[in-house]
Structures are given as structure tokens and as C-alpha cells.
């Protein structure tokens, strides 16, 4: 489906004229949806009427002849409401307007969606069926996705129509190999390498003996790998929080991607055998990501290559032998895939080392979620020379000791033992309140994404969900999820935590969170079309999400809404208007829905200076320190050239956060804080001093933050805050708070051991 949408948008954008663009759009939409008719109506800029401009299935003689004034007919209803309208018998609707010239009397079922470009409805895309069956939610979601994909290219066409080697560990070398910290912790174990048969670069050239057999073998490999990934996800269900577990779903989708399958198949049909066709395709696709400027997107090249190796391994299934893993296994490879991690019994997995990759790689994400130390980006090292070696993995400092001396091994064995003791101590805090020695309580909430299994979050002892990232369900699909699909997901979250509150952030896409089926091509996406800016310009998407959230909250009433990327009060007013419409629509349907509390994220510097105006429109504030830090410091944290400048402990960031908390108090509005600052033990000390109403952190970070709060008196934290904001830079702040944590017996949060 993603390939269909990409092809459609590309062909429309490359069309020589408007007529060709419209013809391509209706033909491909009709074919993809398998409907009886499809039509596009555009708004005439002169009289604002909707005009039938192209159709497949209706009478083509009606093109240019059918004109509807604003608000006229069911098409006018779509345009006026700026959201999808689905009718099982359109002729019975009171706003129905019949045009005999179109021949539409033969059709009963109608589905129309607005084509919205920069908030303006420039047209309506509609499909028709002869039967009286209602269009499904999936069909509606697909048509909305098509419309969103078409809006930009179509508007442009309309305008145009208007004329390494391991050191020998001799004395001159350090006794370790330096990499990048991927996941904290220390471990001693035996190196296990991925199967050498799964090295794509080692695949020889060979012609396909039987093309049909090669294609079939490849497609069977795709099916088996998808099954294995889903099974791996199930095996890890009890061990991973949902955000990490959902990566298995992402990989399964990538394996079945139309572009990957079609490119490999085409190469086989040109005469290559399946392994080399796969090798060349993976190289091509990975190169696309590697050329991108955004580091997070470049990291996706690792995912592509991991998928390629797994597919190659499946193609060579007859040559594989079952593996026995050492009692303490350290997985080492260029990029260790999620499936390979899932292969190792959890009690035997000691650590992970990737010769390539970064802290942003999915491997590092999963290692952190499992509590397994990981080192990334070891560099130009011959992995084959590591196989079978005893290694020490230091995930705190990003170091790997190969065949360590007895003294090094003994020291890390001691640190490993202390780490286990510390983890047990933290677990004992689960049912205790986050209360300082001088009696100040700080409610701790968790951040969440796709919670297919919410047990880890529930078992963390959290007071609720302080930030639910609603874009996750959108990122794991090949089209916008329907309202019903969204409602089901949101209901699961709300029910699991009821009566505890759940703060759901509305769709926050763009920037470093693109959707594969909704292209946002910008020179500087971090300062571009993202967050509330996107959803306000696509009310059909926003309204569907709002209604899904409201439906999900019926009878629970623990929903709170949060608007991202807000920079002015006018954006909140517009969002409130759409929320009012969603509430009214559902109440008219007889649903007992209540207006949820509404908040805004303070992550754009302008919002800091608009708190008074915003306070008149919202119930609470939520400080998003990740984006706020990069905007205040003018640092793209995904850009390796300047990433070292990004630090949420910068005194200017601390002053800004403190200013928001103080001003919110004067305005009698509660304020929460989410982001990396909240989950950093150093940051936890400073947040405690500021007096935020609650903080929201990853479930895995909650025990550490609670330990800090229960160990540092508020007055001590306040003294540290006042000293910190007077320091010249983040490094000085970190040194100051590190010493304070050490003095309080919390050094185990900063390094290996206790």
C-alpha cells in the first residue's frame, strides 16, 4: 500500500498538466480501492464552487458541467465539515443533490474526503459503489491517506497549470577498544558472532537457474522472517516495554515492504539468483538512508541491512545448524538485529556489541529496555578475531576489553555483582512513594507509546501516564489508521490505567518523526511543518483522532489531551474549536462524552513568553525539555557536527524551565515535565528543586528517579539549583550534581558498581 501511495503522489507531481494529474489520481484510486466509481471535484477560485474535474465510473460528459455552491450537496458537506463523510444510501441524505448528467443515480454508497492544502479545502475526492454497503474503516482511512498525499502535489500542479584490525594489546595500546555507550551496565561473557553465511557482502555472483523457483524461495523467506519476527516479539513480551517491543512490528513491516519485494523480484527476473538480488537491493535501499542528513534517519540504514542479513539467512536455511549459546553470551556483529537478540535465552544474554551503529539504533533501544549493557560503533575492528573471546562490556564508558587480564576481570566481576545488588535495591522501592526526606512528594508518571503489553509500565508504580505518544500507531502502519482502529488502541491504554490519568498528546509528526505514507519534504524539518501545525492544516486527520480519543474515554473519564509544538494562543483556540466540534458530533450520536482537561506542551521558546495568554485557554502545562533544549541552544541534536553542544543541563535551559514553573504557579496552572532531563538522575535533583507538580519518565528510569527523590531533601536540591544556574556551562553543572549524588550515596546511578 505504501508503494501505491508513493507512486500515486510521484506520478501526480510529475504530471505535465492538471488534466493528466487528475486522470492518474482517479484511475489509480479506483483501482486500488476496487470501487465502481471515483471522482475529483476542485474549487473554482472565481466563484468558490466545487466543479467535477475528472472521473472514472461516472459519465465523463459531466466533467466541467457539475458545479456545487459552497455548502451544496453531500460534497458541500464534506467541504464544509473538512472531514470524511460516508453514507450507505446517499440519496436519502437531506443535503443530497442529484445531477442526472453524471449517471450517479446508479450508485448508493458514497465516501468523500476533503483535499486540504495549508488549511484550505481545494477539492473533494469521492468514491461510489452500486451496493448499499457502508464503506469500511480501512477504506475510509486509505482514502484519507490518498487525499493527504495528493494535496501538496495537486496544489503545485494546479498552480503550474495556471500559468580495522584489533590492536595486539601490547604496551603501546590501551587495554580496551573504545566505542560509544549504547546501554548502561557492565558484563563479562563469551563472544558469539552472527552466522558468517549471513554476510551480504560475501554473496557471490550467480545466475538464476530457475527464475520462478528463485522468486518463490525469496517470497517464502519473506513470509518466514515475518513469522519469526512476530514470534520473537511474543517471546520478548514479558521482558520489554511496549515502545521497544513495537520495534519487532516495525521490522516485520519493513521485511514485507512493497519496494523491497518488488526490487528483489525484478532483479531475479532479470537473471540474478535470489541472494545476490537481495544483496544489491539492500545496498541500494541502505544507501538512500545513509545519504540523509538526519542522524536518526541515517540509523535506519542499519535496520535495512539487518533485515537483509536475516532474509539471506532464511534463504540459506538448509545450510544452517542449530546454535548453542554460552552461559554468558555477548552478541557481537556489525549491527546485531532484534531477531538475533531474541534468539538468545534471556538468562544467557550478557551484553551486546555493535561494530557499527549509534545510541539511536534500535539495537541500543532494546538493550536498554532489557537492562543489558551495550557498546556501539566500535569502528574498524575485525569481528571475526573476536569470536569465542572473553570480553568485558562497559556500557557506561563505551569500552570493550578483549581477553582481559585477571585483575581487570576480577574488578569488573565485582562491579557486575554490585550492579545486581543495586537493581534489587531499586526494585524494593516500587511500592514506596517518591517522597523526599523532608516530606515533599513528587508524583512520578510514565511515558508510553504502543502498549501491546502495559505490564512493565503498570508494575513501575507510576501514578499514571504523563505522556502518551499517539504517533506510534500511525508510524507502524502503511496508511492513516481509521477512527475505530485508533479508538481500540486508546481504549486499551485508558482502561489499563483507570482511574489514574492518561495524558494523550495529539498527533506529533514531522521533524524527526516522519510517516512513510505522508511525505513532508523540507530543508529544515525541525523548524518546519510538524506537530500542531500539521494537524490544524489537516482537520480531517485531527478530528478523527480527537473523536477516537473521546470515544475511548467514555465511562472512564481519565483522558487528558495535550497539544504539541504550540507557539501561540491562536493555535490553541483553533484546536479548541475542533475539539468542540468533535464533542458535539459524539454527543449528537448519544454518547456520554465529557470534555477532557486540555494542556499544551511548552517546547517552543515563544510559548514561554505567552504563558498568560495560554493559561486562559488550557488546564495545564507540560514542559517538553528535549525540543525546548535544542531550540533554546539552536542545536539539532541529530546532527553529529553539533550534537555535543546539546545538553539539557545548560544553565540557560535550567533558567528557562525554572521561569515556566514559577510563572505557571502564579497563573494557578499545574505544570509537568517530560523528556530526557526528567529521566537523568542529575536532572531529577534540579527538577525536585524547581517544584514541578509531577514528572513523566520512561518506565525503566522511574526507579532511579524515585531513589534520587527519596535521598535528597528539597532544601538541599534548591541550594544546588541556585548554584547551578550561576555556572558557566553544562559540564560544570554536571560536576556539581555528580559530587552531590556521590555524597548522598547515589554514585551507582552514574557509573558501574555502587
Residue 28: closest CA among 54, 48, 49: 54
Residue 333: closest CA among 312, 315, 351: 351
Residue 391: closest CA among 368, 374, 377: 374
Task: Give the integer Cα–Cα distance in Å for 321 and 309.
Answer: 16
Q: Which residues pair with 444 in a beta bridge?
A: 695
Pairing of strands 67-68, 50-56: antiparallel
Burial tier of 397 (Cβ tally within 10 Å: 0-12, 13-18, 19+)? middle
49 is an active site residue: no
The answer to whether residues 377 and 357 touch, using CB atoms and an 8 Å cutoff, is yes
Helices (H), 270-346: 274-290, 295-298, 300-315, 338-343
Task: Give the integer Cα–Cα distance in Å for 93 and 63.
Answer: 24
Task: Give the integer Cα–Cα distance in Å for 342 and 357.
Answer: 19
CA 510, 511, 517, 521 dihedral sign is positive
- The full DSSP string for 237-255 is TTTS-HHHHHHHHHHHHHH
Question: Which of 117, 362, 538, 650 is labelled catalytic?
Answer: 362
Grid cell, residue 15, equals 504530471
Q: Which long-range contacts (CB under 8 A, 24 or more apart) does 71-74 make?
A: 72/97, 73/97, 74/110, 74/112
CA distances from 473 to 32, 230, 304, 489, 598 (A): 23, 17, 21, 8, 22
Grid cell, residue 169, equals 594489546
Length of the chain: 754
Burial tier of 247 (Cβ tally within 10 Å: 0-12, 13-18, 19+)? buried
SS3 40: strand
Question: What totals of helices (H) and strands (E) does the chain contain, helices first?
Answer: 28, 22
Q: In what order do the strands lie in the sheet with 109-117?
A: 67-68, 50-56, 37-43, 120-129, 109-117, 85-87
The answer to whether residues 371 and 389 touch, using CB atoms and an 8 Å cutoff, is no
Q: CA torsion angle for 540, 544, 550, 552 (degrees, to 10)?
A: -170
Task: Give the integer Cα–Cα distance in Å for 206 and 33.
Answer: 40
The answer to whether residues 68 and 75 touch, using CB atoms and an 8 Å cutoff, is yes
38 is an active site residue: no
CA distances from 534 to 116, 507, 508, 519 (A): 11, 9, 8, 12
The answer to whether residues 388 and 329 touch, using CB atoms and an 8 Å cutoff, is no
The pair phi, psi for residue 631, each rounded to 5°, is -75, -40
Task: Give the integer Cα–Cα distance in Å for 144 and 148.
Answer: 6
Grid cell, residue 161, equals 497549470
* Residue located via cell numbers 555477548: 330
Pairing of strands 180-183, 177-178: unpaired
Q: What share of the chain is helix, strand, coil (3-state, %, to 5)?
A: 50, 15, 35
CA 375, 376, 377, 379 dihedral sign is positive
Question: Which of 38, 117, 650, 674 is labelled catalytic?
Answer: 674
The pair phi, psi for residue 57, each rounded to 5°, is 115, -35
Q: How many CB atoms lie within 10 A of CB 487?
A: 22
Active site residues: 362, 674
Amino acid at each position: 500500500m505504501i508503494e501505491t501511495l508513493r507512486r500515486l503522489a510521484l506520478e501526480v507531481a510529475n504530471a505535465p498538466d492538471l488534466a493528466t494529474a487528475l486522470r492518474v489520481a482517479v484511475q489509480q484510486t479506483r483501482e486500488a480501492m476496487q470501487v465502481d466509481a471515483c471522482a475529483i471535484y476542485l474549487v473554482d477560485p472565481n466563484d468558490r464552487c466545487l466543479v467535477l474535474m475528472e472521473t472514472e465510473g461516472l459519465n465523463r460528459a459531466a466533467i466541467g458541467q457539475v458545479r456545487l455552491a459552497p455548502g451544496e450537496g453531500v460534497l458541500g458537506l464534506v467541504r464544509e465539515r473538512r472531514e470524511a463523510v460516508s453514507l450507505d444510501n446517499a440519496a436519502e441524505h437531506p443535503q443530497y443533490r442529484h445531477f442526472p448528467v453524471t449517471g450517479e443515480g446508479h450508485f448508493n454508497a458514497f465516501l468523500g474526503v476533503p483535499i486540504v492544502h495549508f488549511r484550505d479545502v481545494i477539492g473533494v475526492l469521492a468514491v461510489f459503489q452500486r451496493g448499499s454497503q457502508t464503506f469500511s474503516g480501512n477504506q475510509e482511512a486509505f482514502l484519507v491517506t490518498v487525499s493527504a498525499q495528493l494535496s501538496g502535489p495537486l496544489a503545485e500542479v494546479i498552480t503550474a497549470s495556471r500559468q580495522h584490525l584489533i590492536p595486539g594489546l601490547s604496551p603501546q595500546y590501551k587495554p580496551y577498544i573504545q566505542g560509544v555507550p549504547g546501554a548502561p551496565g557492565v558484563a563479562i561473557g563469551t563472544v558469539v558472532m552472527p552466522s558468517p553465511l549471513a554476510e551480504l557482502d560475501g554473496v557471490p555472483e550467480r545466475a538464476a537457474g530457475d527464475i520462478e523457483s528463485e522468486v518463490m524461495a525469496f517470497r517464502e523467506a519473506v513470509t518466514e522472517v515475518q513469522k519469526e519476527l512476530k514470534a520473537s516479539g511474543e517471546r520478548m513480551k514479558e521482558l520489554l516495554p511496549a515502545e521497544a517491543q513495537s520495534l519487532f512490528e516495525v521490522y516485520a513491516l519493513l521485511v514485507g515492504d512493497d519496494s523491497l519485494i518488488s526490487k528483489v523480484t525484478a532483479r531475479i527476473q532479470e537473471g540474478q539468483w535470489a541472494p545476490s538480488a537481495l544483496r544489491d537491493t539492500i545496498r541500494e535501499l541502505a544507501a538512500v538512508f545513509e545519504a540523509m542528513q538526519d542522524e536518526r534517519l541515517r540509523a535506519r540504514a542499519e535496520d535495512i541491512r539487518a533485515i537483509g542479513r536475516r532474509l539471506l539467512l532464511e534463504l540459506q536455511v538448509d545450510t544452517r545448524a542449530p546454535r548453542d549459546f554460552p552461559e554468558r553470551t555477548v552478541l557481537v556483529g556489525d549491527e546485531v538485529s532484534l531477531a538475533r537478540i531474541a534468539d538468545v535465552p534471556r538468562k544467557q544474554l550478557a551484553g551486546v556489541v555493535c561494530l557499527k551503529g549509534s545510541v539511536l539504533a534500535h539495537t541500543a533501544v532494546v538493550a536498554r529496555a532489557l537492562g543489558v549493557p551495550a557498546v556501539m560503533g566500535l569502528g574498524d575492528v575485525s569481528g571475526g578475531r573476536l569470536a569465542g573471546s572473553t570480553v568485558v562490556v562497559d556500557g557506561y564508558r563505551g569500552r570493550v576489553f578483549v581477553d582481559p587480564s585477571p585483575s581487570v576481570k576480577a574488578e569488573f566481576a565485582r562491579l557486575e555483582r554490585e550492579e545486581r545488588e543495586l537493581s534489587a535495591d531499586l526494585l524494593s522501592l516500587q511500592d514506596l512513594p517518591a517522597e523526599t526526606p523532608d516530606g515533599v512528594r513528587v508524583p512520578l508518571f510514565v511515558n508510553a507509546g504502543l502498549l501491546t503489553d502495559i505490564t512493565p509500565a503498570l508494575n513501575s508504580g507510576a501514578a499514571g501516564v504523563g505522556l502518551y505518544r499517539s504517533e506510534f500507531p500511525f508510524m507502524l502502519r502503511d496508511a492513516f489508521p481509521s477512527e475505530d482502529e485508533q479508538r481500540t488502541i486508546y481504549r486499551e491504554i485508558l482502561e489499563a490505567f483507570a482511574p489514574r490519568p492518561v495524558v494523550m498528546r495529539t498527533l506529533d509528526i514531522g521533524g524527526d518523526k516522519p510517516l512513510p505514507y505522508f511525505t513532508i519534504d523540507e530543508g529544515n524539518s525541525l523548524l518546519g511543518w510538524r506537530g500542531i501545525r500539521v494537524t490544524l492544516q489537516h482537520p480531517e486527520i485531527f478530528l478523527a483522532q480527537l473523536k477516537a480519543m473521546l470515544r475511548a474515554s467514555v465511562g472512564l473519564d481519565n483522558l487528558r489531551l495535550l497539544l504539541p509544538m504550540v507557539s501561540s494562543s491562536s493555535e490553541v483556540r483553533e484546536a479548541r474549536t475542533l475539539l468542540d466540534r468533535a464533542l458535539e458530533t459524539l454527543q449528537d450520536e448519544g454518547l456520554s462524552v465529557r470534555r477532557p482537561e486540555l494542556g499544551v506542551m511548552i517546547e517552543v521558546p515563544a510559548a514561554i513568553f505567552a504563558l498568560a495568554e495560554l493559561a486562559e485557554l488550557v488546564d495545564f502545562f507540560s514542559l517538553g525539555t528535549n525540543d525546548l533544549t535544542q531550540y533554546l541552544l539552536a542545536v539539532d541534536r541529530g546532527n553529529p557536527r553539533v550534537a555535543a553542544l546539546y545538553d539539557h543541563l545548560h544553565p540557560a535551559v535550567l533558567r528557562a524551565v525554572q521561569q515556566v514553573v514559577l510563572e505557571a504557579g502564579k497563573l494557578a496552572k499545574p505544570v509537568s515535565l517530560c523528556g530526557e532531563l526528567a529521566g537523568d538522575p542529575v536532572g531529577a535533583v534540579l527538577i525536585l528543586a524547581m517544584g514541578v507538580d509531577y514528572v513523566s519518565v520512561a518506565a525503566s528510569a522511574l526507579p532511579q528517579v524515585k531513589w534520587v527523590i527519596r535521598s535528597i531533601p528539597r532544601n538541599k536540591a534548591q541550594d544546588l539549583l541556585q548554584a547551578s544556574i550561576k555556572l558557566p556551562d553544562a559540564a560544570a553543572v554536571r560536576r556539581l550534581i555528580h559530587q552531590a549524588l556521590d555524597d548522598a550515596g547515589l554514585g551507582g546511578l552514574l557509573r558501574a558498581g555502587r
